[in-house]
Amino acid sequence: MKIVAPLLPVLSLVMLSAAPVTATAQTLSPSRASAELSAASPAADRISAFTASDRAYGEALLERLVNENSGSLNLPGVRAVGEMMRAEFEALGFTVSWVDGAAWGRAGHLIATHHPAMANSDTRRRTASRRRGANTIAGNRILLIGHLDTVFEPSSPFQRYEVSANGDRAVGPGVGDDKGGLVVIIQALRAMRAAGTLDSADIIVVLTGDEERVGDPVSAARASLIAAGQWADAALEYENQISGPDGDFGTIARRSSSNWTLNVSARTGHSSTIFSDGMGYGAANEMARILDTFRRELPEANLTFNVGVMAAGTPAALDADEESATASGKTNIVPQTAVARGDLRTLTVEQDARIRAAMAAIVAAHLPGAEATIRFDDGYPPMSPTAGNRALLALLNQANRELGLPEMAEYDPARRGAADSGFVAPYVDTLGGLGAVSSGAHAVGESINLALLPRQAARSARFITLLSQQPRE
């Protein structure tokens, strides 16, 4: 594969018409020779020193980002946060553009690109060719993923950034998810510049404006991100870092997140005739049968399905937002309609298809006098575990060793939510959860460990450096 000309700032959707990628990118080498490792140590030291000295800069940026409300539906606020990030990337020499989101009902996305100078790329290409063979070229292309929006709309009472008395913890809307992740990206790139490793790194950053509430159609809302994933050799996602008493963990997999809607109809009439041949069982009992069969027959590893809202009566219906329902009825009337809506989370595409088919079969086995249908709405696809993702974690652990940090084990994917990384995972080796160490995401009181921001930035700076120095194959 040869290096192409720099991407257009908005990632021309022409890329999407290319032949689909059917396998993940090559497995990345997890380590280098010991001589190369020792040679890299001075760069690791420079990165550590810089991130420690850069803490105040990162915290000031974080405060500005958090104090600008950017709920997914607050389009001006999302754009304002995007402009703050534009200034940061442009100061680092990135080319920055805004992809307008009017076509999918959201603010849009920020895309920042950084490509090595041609002369430097030529030198690296010749060096790599001598080391790995005539067809090898240098410089893994790296995608960094984050998001500008939060779950906290302007109507939320939770709006301001506050720092604890000891200065090591901050509270605020989206402080960890994902504004802390944005700060980690910026400080990592600043550290790479200080260490002299940014100039040779081939990077694209995609910051979506609707991660928390993706726009419609999803195909349009995620076209730029998918194109970036098809371009990259490795993708790194900056949602919150999982950290606890047992240490830090690497995210090599995330489950999907999709929705299902169950609609039930039945004969109605006087309750004294329920269960008779002429009346049947009613809509409420049919819905209860379906949901209980889900509960009894479907459970397996890495699968969850939740009922979020339900109603039955004569009539019953979901409201337009499908997040609330209305119903009416009397105890002496057999319910005519029932509705339920929930989510479905799976680890692989195969598991998702198999579970959907099983749910549809359960729905089709109607009780007498009732009928039911189920609709599935796609959301976030899974980021399935792969050998390539594990190789990325191995390389991250090399960076950890160089920085004097403990190695990171794989985190249980059943304990992580979905993220934008799922959209690129079919095309490129992907590692998630590289953002800030935070807690309470999506809840009033969301907080971040400020003292660990320098560590997170140093870890990413060294990791991205190692990735960028590996030859493409």
**Domains of the chain, residue spans:** 13-254+383-469, 257-380
Q: pTM of the predicted model, to two decimals?
A: 0.86
Q: Which sign, positive or negative, has the C-alpha torsion 417, 420, 426, 428?
A: negative
Residue 174 backbone zone (phi > 0: left; psi -120 to 50: alpha; other: beta):
left
Contact 232, 115 (CB under 8 A): no
Residue 119 exposed, middle or buried by CB count within 10 Å (0-12, 13-18, 19+): exposed
Q: What angle do CA 317, 352, 362 make, to 5 degrees?
A: 55
Based on its alpha-carbon atoms, the radius of gyration of the chain, rounded to whole angstroms, reads 25
CA distances to 225, 238, 365, 380, 457 from 259, rounded to whole Å, are: 22, 25, 21, 10, 35
* Polymer length in residues for the chain: 473
Which CATH topology does 257-380 take? Alpha-Beta Plaits (3.30.70)
Contact 462, 43 (CB under 8 A): yes
C-alpha–C-alpha distance, residues 143 and 117, integer Å: 18
Contact 166, 449 (CB under 8 A): no
**Residue 385: how many CA atoms within 13 Å on its side-chain side?**
14
Task: Match domain 13-254+383-469 to its CATH number in 3.40.50.720, 3.40.1190.20, 3.40.630.10, 3.40.50.12280.
Answer: 3.40.630.10
Summarize the chain as % helix, strand, coil (round to 5): 40, 25, 40
> Residue 163, Cβ neighbours under 10 Å: how many?
16
The H-or-E segment that residue 313 falls in is strand 304-313
Helices (H) and strands (E) in the chain, counts: 12, 19
Q: What is the pLDDT along the chain (473 residues), one digit of tens a residue?
A: 333 333 433 344 333 333 333 334 444 444 443 334 444 468 899 999 999 999 999 999 999 999 999 999 999 999 999 999 999 999 999 999 999 999 999 999 999 999 986 434 444 444 444 333 333 345 899 999 999 999 999 999 999 999 999 999 999 999 999 999 999 999 999 999 999 999 999 999 999 999 999 999 999 999 999 999 999 999 999 999 999 898 999 999 999 999 999 999 999 999 999 999 999 999 999 999 999 999 999 999 999 999 999 999 999 999 998 999 999 999 999 999 999 999 999 999 999 999 999 999 999 999 999 999 999 999 999 999 999 999 999 999 999 999 999 999 999 999 999 999 999 999 999 999 999 999 999 999 999 999 999 999 999 999 999 999 998 87
